[in-house]
Amino acid sequence: MQLGLSGRSVVIAGGSRGIGLACARVFLEEGCRVALLARGADRLEAARAELACGPDRLMARSVDLADAVAARAAFAAAAERFGAPDALVNSAGAARRCNPAELSPAVYREAMDAKYFTYINAMDAVLSGMADRRRGVIVNIIGSGGKTAASSHIAGGASSASTLAAP
């Protein structure tokens, strides 16, 4: 598919599996430099091995993006390695499912940390630089729970709906 992206720098939050990993594969095929960020070091290593790309085009860093300080450090490391990101793909974080009887403010807070704040922290790390350069793209991948309620995923759906309205 040649999209004219060769040489661009892309950070993928949640890039160790699923949609994030699929995005990484396509960006690498397009000639981009890709930084994968995710919590699980083992999954990141498996993703790096699967993508079979050298360190000049692919890096992987384990980080909990719900931690704003750790998120900034991970994005700084990616920018140091590959330059300021031209694109951010947010595909990280998932809230645990529970039945309505288990819901509490703590469960909602956990869901917001898992999805909403991982996205906010990632966007915060790149947004001002993109604005200064007047260039960059942020893609937030959000599950259908943000639009369609499910009784086993009320807190997660609420965090996904909040992410739909994020800046």
Task: Give the Cα separation of 148 and 144 in Å (integer).
Answer: 6
Q: Per the structure block, which two tokens stand in for 39? A: 């919590």
Structure confidence at residue 147 as a pLDDT band (50, 70, 90)? low
Residue 145's pLDDT is: 62
Inform me whether the pLDDT recorded for 100 exceeds 90: no
- The CATH architecture assigned to 9-164 reads 3-Layer(aba) Sandwich (3.40)
Outline where DSSP puts E strands in 55-145: 58-62, 87-90, 137-140
pLDDT one-digit tens code per residue, 15-30 = 999 999 999 999 999 9
Residue 123's pLDDT is: 95
pTM: 0.89
